[in-house]
Structure 1
Amino acid sequence: MPTIKTSIIPTHQQFTKVNAPHELDRKAICIFAATGFFLETDTYWKDKKVLPAASENIIDENGFLVESKPWFQWHYSPRDISFETALEEFTALFDQITSEQLKDSKVILPLSGGLDSRTQAVVLAKMKNPVIAYSYSFKGGFSESGIGKKIAKVCGFDFKEFTIDSGYLWPKLEELATINNCYSDFTHPRQMAVLEEFKKMEGVFSLGHWGDVLFDRGAPEGAREEDLLEIIMKKVVKKGGMELAIALWQEWDLNGDFESYLRDRITELLNKITIENPSAKLRAFKSLYWAPRWTSVNLSVFEEAHPVTLPYYDDRMCAFISTVPEEYLADRKLQIAYIKQQNPDLAKITWQEHKPFNLYTFENNKSPNNLPYRIGNKLKREVKNKMGKPYIQRNWELQFLGMENDEKLQEHLFGENIHPFISKPLLAKFYNNFKTVDAIKYSHPLSMLLTLAVWDKSRKNA
């Protein structure tokens, strides 16, 4: 019988059969509705599971899971090393992994205003591979491309700038559903807007996913182990997500109550992680259950165009993280030091999270030093709003706001009768709350209901 070994952070969901009824796993779908991702090995169906991260799995000739056991356990084993030694080791490992993954390929590099892609720009500037970098900005939003263009110029990369237009999702909705199989909501993968442009490029994607989790404090400073459940609940349950999940739970007449079920599931998973340090334990939880089931799902969009490489996903990087003292990982210290040491000019470019400050000045991003920028930025947004040009900050605003978007949204939510899976009164309630009560709070429920409606249609047409 074949054995399938999954990576510490898998890039793909690998499905298997289990001995269970072939019926909807409505409890799992409720968690999906609340958080935007399926938890642990859950899928839409009770008899279909995803292979766990960092596991060896024996599958029989009929595709059923016989046995699953971990081959790697997240741990916290900090070594007695200096920060300088940790930086040297990270530099050598990160550069080695990137070089091995890319070999002599042409490289496609997404550039944001953050640190993860900037670390990749550092190492790629030292390599001889041809690089084409790109950034995208929301139409009417912050020009993320402005920072990306500056990074590319310093490194000598070719650069493309993309603008994500309003309503790009609707003509691509069925294609996206096929690509990610409706295991992620549809408003986040903005790369769908430029997928055809990606296909015109040549090379291999180098993606910086998960660097911000591995190389930062896992839990807030001073957090205790008993605080982790509340921290996770606050982090993973989206605005309006709990309300939607409870509504579905009640409509489907499931036993117990949803919030208790979710808390029990998360507590059980936390108890399996044998790490005492709260920050390291929370990072392990995210890497085991969040990265594979949310972050990894939409990697498939990039793969529609070209192969992907992910230096921060590498097993060796995860093993390295488990031995680095938390104080060196907190507040992005290692990444910041790496960029400053290897390419000071890149460190001088604005850090989007702390704009208008850079990696040398970001500690000034507090009152009163940041007041002039904050006031000026607020005035710009107000002027745009008065001119009828709202400042776009979130993906869903491009998909759900405006008359044309509303028509498409209603068409997908109400044009097909998805009862008894989800009733029209429930759909109408959350749609009306989005329109009349609080668009920000109800944007996530609306996005999840759209995802579930498209999934329901696709399974009926299969």
Structure 2
Amino acid sequence: MTTSFKSPIIPSEQKFARIHGESHEPDLKSICLYAATGFFWGDATYYRDLKAVQPGTLNNIDEDGFLLDSKPWFNWYYEPHGQSFQESVKQHELLLEQIIDEQVGEQNVILPLSGGLDSRSQAVALHKLGKKVSSYSYSFAGGFKEHEISEQIAKKCNFEFQAFEIPHGYLWDDIEKLAQINGCYSEFTHPRQMAVVEDLRKLDGVFSLGHWGDVLFDRGGDEGIEQNDLVKYIHKKVIKKGGLELATQLWKSWGVEGNFQEYLSEVTLDLLKRIEIKNTSAKVRAFKSMYWAPRWTSINMSVFKAAHPITLPYYDDRMCELICNIPEEHLADRKIQIEYIKQNNPAVAQITWQDHKPYNLFNYHRDKSPNNLPYRVKNKIKRMVNDKMGRKYIQRNWELQFLGDENKQHLESYLFNDTFSNFIDPEIVQKVYASFKNDDQVYYSHPVSMLLTLSLWNNKLRD
């Protein structure tokens, strides 16, 4: 029996198919790319004979799970219409509200709120549509209280609201459960929602998630980049700190033929050539939407799904097609979302925009020197005082997972065990971990997180 499958333009979950003629062995080249960037590229997986079904394709898969054929039903394009900026804002308004209304219907809505623009746009739409909403936000223990901004948004929209704090070391009680949920296709320092998944289960309704709005409704990249420079531009956007170093070490230790950086460039160029768009800003956005969104952003949506069904207005095929017809100058700098919020709920627009603290959507353009100097000086003094008092300011999720004696014990139990040493050279692990502890924690936090992820895959999920 043959199963036909139509993949969305941006899939919210990975689907896999087996490939005839390939061995069921680890795809070491692809794992190196994964180590460098934190996501698998194209259709690659951990195994040579297992491939991810590609976005925007029609696929036939046989009863044994083998891919018979695959062909695109959608190709990203850039054909801007000659509309005014206000017409673009109106198109966004009508489509966003239509999609949200269709997706949630009469169900209660669970809305994760942040201090940014995507969930704020959803809040405005949901309030305007008269939906019943339970909202929440979370902040790092010892970090910026993001929930304070979110709570203000909730109050202006008359939503129920809960604030959660992401505690130190929350990962270790659930790391093996998370490995099963996301298949180790994402490093473990990103899904903060795992810390509160049991609390989320107590809520009633469907999630409305704002993922990928910040990519669709912003410039994709610089315009006018030469083809030869576009590969380097992509690499600057996706290669993590310390990622290239780790990937190169793995490549050499496994004895993979050739050079990792050359392979990285070849893969990047091949994927870019599949996108027939001349405008480089639109082309970069399409690249991210085809290869980054489904293989990185979508992975940890499985954590939300473990609590309740999810809806994704910015993942809707119609939203992707709308983006292909809006001029780049309208999309750049989040202008459409900002204008939508200002026009439809000025009170919400007056609340601080987290990326431009302490400014809001009406005056964020003043977030430059010398206007912002008083805030920056005050914030720096506050951090210095906290440092002297031994209260470290938490800015990144890995700081909650990797720092401190208890975290150290858990982390080392996964990094240094006999099973993992049979997969990755212990000297690489020791060198990376020593550099993290003694040299530059920010730079080496990604390599440590990738080694942790690979250890879980190798020890728990590897066939």
**TM superposition score normalised by structure 1:** 0.98
1:223 and 1:379, CA in 2 relative to 1: closer, same or farther beyond 3 A? farther
Secondary structure of the structure 2 residue equivalent to 1:68: strand
Secondary structure of the structure 1 residue equivalent to 2:268: helix
Residues 116 and 208 in structure 1, CA contact (< 8 A), matched pair in contact too: yes
Residues 223 and 280 in structure 2, CA contact (< 8 A), matched pair in contact too: no
Aligned to 1:82: 84
Asked if 1:448 is matched to 2:461, the reply is no
Give 1:39's match in structure 2, choosing from 20, 26, 41: 41
Secondary structure of the structure 1 residue equivalent to 2:258: coil
Residues 225 and 276 in structure 1, CA contact (< 8 A), matched pair in contact too: no
Aligned to 2:95: 93
Q: Which moved more, 1:4-13 or 1:226-235?
A: 226-235
Aligned to 2:409: 407
Aligned to 2:153: 151
Residues 216 and 331 in structure 1, CA contact (< 8 A), matched pair in contact too: yes
CA offset digits 1:172-228 (Å, max 9, x no partner): 000100100000000100100001000111110000000000000001366444432
Aligned to 1:17: 18
Distance 1:114 1:229 in 2: 29
- Residue type at the aligned position of 2:78: Y
1:390 and 1:221, CA in 2 relative to 1: closer, same or farther beyond 3 A? farther
Asked if 1:234 is matched to 2:236, the reply is yes
Distance 1:386 1:222 in 2: 48
- Residue type at the aligned position of 2:357: K
Aligned to 1:313: 315
Secondary structure of the structure 2 residue equivalent to 1:178: helix
Secondary structure of the structure 2 residue equivalent to 1:16: strand
Secondary structure of the structure 2 residue equivalent to 1:417: helix
Distance 2:155 2:259 in 1: 55
Aligned to 2:55: 53
CA offset digits 1:223-279 (Å, max 9, x no partner): 444432111101111000000000000000001111110111001110111000010
Aligned to 1:375: 377
Q: Which moved more, 1:399-408 or 1:214-223?
A: 214-223
Distance 2:405 2:244 in 1: 28
Distance 2:417 2:406 in 1: 15
Taking the TM superposition and a 5 Å limit, the aligned residue runs for 1:276-295 are 276-295=278-297
Aligned to 1:107: 109
Aligned to 1:207: 209
Secondary structure of the structure 1 residue equivalent to 2:359: coil
Distance 1:222 1:343 in 2: 36
Distance 2:118 2:418 in 1: 42
Aligned to 1:327: 329
Residues 242 and 446 in structure 2, CA contact (< 8 A), matched pair in contact too: yes
Residues 35 and 236 in structure 1, CA contact (< 8 A), matched pair in contact too: yes
What is the Cα deviation at residue 415 of structure 1? 3.5
Secondary structure of the structure 2 residue equivalent to 1:163: strand
Secondary structure of the structure 1 residue equivalent to 2:414: helix
Secondary structure of the structure 2 residue equivalent to 1:137: strand
Give 1:116's match in structure 2, choosing from 112, 115, 118: 118
Which consecutive residues of structure 1, in runs of 5 or more, have no partner in the other structure? none
- Residue type at the aligned position of 1:16: A
Give 1:141's match in structure 2, choosing from 137, 143, 153: 143
What is the Cα deviation at residue 129 of structure 1? 2.2
Residues 432 and 447 in structure 2, CA contact (< 8 A), matched pair in contact too: yes
- Residue type at the aligned position of 2:415: L
Secondary structure of the structure 2 residue equivalent to 1:57: strand
Aligned to 2:176: 174
Residues 136 and 163 in structure 1, CA contact (< 8 A), matched pair in contact too: yes
Secondary structure of the structure 2 residue equivalent to 1:8: coil
What is the Cα deviation at residue 420 of structure 1? 2.3
Secondary structure of the structure 1 residue equivalent to 2:139: strand
CA offset digits 1:90-114 (Å, max 9, x no partner): 1111100000000001010001000
CA offset digits 1:69-123 (Å, max 9, x no partner): 1000000000011111111111111100000000001010001000000000001
CA offset digits 1:402-435 (Å, max 9, x no partner): 1111111111111343132112111111000000
Distance 2:377 2:405 in 1: 32
Taking the TM superposition and a 5 Å limit, the aligned residue runs for 1:268-279 are 268-279=270-281
Distance 1:3 1:158 in 2: 42
Root-mean-square deviation (CA), in Å?
1.0
Residues 110 and 134 in structure 1, CA contact (< 8 A), matched pair in contact too: yes
What is the Cα deviation at residue 62 of structure 1? 1.9
Distance 1:116 1:418 in 2: 40
Distance 2:64 2:314 in 1: 35
Distance 2:131 2:97 in 1: 13
CA offset digits 1:372-430 (Å, max 9, x no partner): 11111111111111111100000100000111111111111113431321121111110
Distance 2:232 2:417 in 1: 39
Aligned to 2:422: 420
CA offset digits 1:254-311 (Å, max 9, x no partner): 0111111011100111011100001000000000000000000000000000000000
Secondary structure of the structure 2 residue equivalent to 1:208: coil
Q: Which moved more, 1:273-282 or 1:409-418?
A: 409-418
Aligned to 1:265: 267
Distance 1:274 1:347 in 2: 37
Secondary structure of the structure 2 residue equivalent to 1:404: helix
Identity %: 56
Distance 1:199 1:439 in 2: 34
Secondary structure of the structure 1 residue equivalent to 2:70: strand
- Residue type at the aligned position of 1:88: K
Give 1:216's match in structure 2, choosing from 212, 215, 218: 218
- State how many pairs are aligned: 461
Residues 222 and 280 in structure 2, CA contact (< 8 A), matched pair in contact too: no
Secondary structure of the structure 1 residue equivalent to 2:161: strand
Distance 1:343 1:104 in 2: 22
